[in-house]
């Protein structure tokens, strides 16, 4: 996977009213994050690959105006908004190329990262083309990376984020299940392989959540929000495999960003 070249992105913000239903504690948190700057870090799930309407700046990062960080910023109008997330970014890429947007004035940091580090793209390709045995072997290797190198890389990254943004509320979002079991797909993977992939996503989320908790960060689980909207469901919020748009395969659609990821972030802030 090629290394992404990060280009700083900026989005205009729309003034929004404060949430009338927020309790005192929630209102205090919201006031803190809005008063400070908001920095959106991470990989393709944060940049909005699959959601369309990509911004002109940093084209290779495929940052979408429909991505959940942009939608949150438009709704809450933070003091500043830096959209650094980039397609293909792993934990080391975020560490080296995206943290320059953080400062002591940063009030909110969000990110998704970990999927690229574990080679999940190649795992999916192996499962789609290589048969059950090769699929299971690929998933097993990916899970070993999650438990070993990824956990260590997340610790380094999370430590650096806290060092650069000591006062920020940091929300780490997870990944959704990819497949709806016993769904509408007549071709492709069998349910056994789909279950294995969903279980691998659960394991990845567990590793990310554990490391986030150690650093005092909030983990936002999106699997519940996407339940019933996975690939092979009647109303999917994820792109299935498309050889004509391979980059967008297995990524959230615009509704996946606005109805899946955005509510999870809003709840966490």
Q: What is the structure's pLDDT at 9? A: 43
**Is 103 part of the annotated catalytic residue set?**
no
83 sits in the region (left: phi over 0; alpha: psi -120 to 50; else beta) called beta
With 70 as the cut, is the pLDDT of residue 2 above it? no
Roughly how many angstroms between the first and final C-alpha of the chain, as a whole number? 33
H or E element in which residue 268 lies: helix 262-268
Residue position matching structure tokens 């792993």 = 90
pLDDT average, residue stretch 200-219: 97
CA 259 – CA 102 distance, rounded (Å): 27
Instruction: Give the mean model confidence (pLDDT) for residues 245-250.
Output: 83
Q: Which of 101, 180, 239, 251 is catalytic?
A: 251
Could you give the domains of the chain? 24-268 (3.40.50.1110)
How many CA atoms are closer than 13 Å to the CA of 93, on its beta-carbon side? 26
3-state secondary structure of 132: helix
CA angle at 179 for the pair 64 and 259, rounded to the nearest 5°: 40
- pLDDT attached to residue 171: 98
The per-residue pLDDT for 109 is 98
pLDDT tens digits along 36-57: 899 999 999 999 999 999 999 8
pLDDT band at 189 (very low <50, low <70, confident <90, very high): confident
- The active-site residue out of 44, 64, 116, 249 is 44
Q: Is 251 a catalytic residue?
A: yes
Position 33 scores a pLDDT of 66
Structure tokens at 269: 């802030």
pLDDT of residue 128: 77
DSSP-based three-state secondary structure for 116: coil
Tell whether pTM > 0.75.
yes
How far apart CA 260 and CA 173 sit, in angstroms, is: 11
How far is the C-alpha of 211 from the C-alpha of 97, rounded, in Å? 21
Predicted confidence band at 100 (pLDDT cuts at 50, 70, 90)?
A: very high
């Amino acid at each position: 996977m090629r290394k992404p070249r990060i280009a700083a992105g900026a989005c205009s913000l729309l003034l929004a009213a404060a949430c009338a239903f927020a309790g005192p504690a929630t209102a205090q948190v919201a006031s803190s994050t809005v008063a400070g700057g908001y920095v959106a870090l991470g990989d393709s799930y944060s940049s909005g690959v699959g959601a369309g309407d990509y911004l002109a700046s940093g084209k290779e990062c495929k940052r979408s105006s429909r991505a959940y960080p942009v939608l949150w910023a438009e709704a809450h109008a933070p003091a500043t908004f830096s959209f650094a997330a980039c397609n293909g970014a792993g934990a080391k890429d975020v560490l080296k190329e995206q943290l320059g947007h953080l400062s002591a004035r940063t009030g909110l940091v969000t990110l998704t990262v970990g999927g690229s580090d574990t080679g999940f793209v190649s795992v999916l390709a192996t499962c789609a083309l290589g048969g059950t045995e090769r699929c299971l072997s690929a998933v097993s290797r990916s899970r070993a990376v999650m438990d070993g190198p990824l956990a260590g890389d997340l610790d380094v990254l999370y430590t650096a984020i806290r060092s650069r943004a000591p006062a920020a509320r940091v929300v780490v979002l997870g990944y959704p299940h990819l497949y709806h079991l016993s769904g509408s797909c007549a071709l492709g993977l069998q349910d056994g392989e789909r279950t294995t992939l969903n279980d691998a996503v659960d394991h990845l989320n567990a590793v990310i959540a554990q490391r986030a908790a150690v650093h005092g960060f909030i983990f936002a689980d999106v699997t519940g929000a996407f339940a019933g909207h996975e690939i092979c469901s009647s109303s999917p919020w994820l792109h299935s495999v498309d050889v004509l748009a391979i980059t967008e395969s297995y990524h959230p659609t615009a509704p996946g960003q606005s109805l899946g990821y955005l509510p999870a972030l809003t709840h966490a802030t």
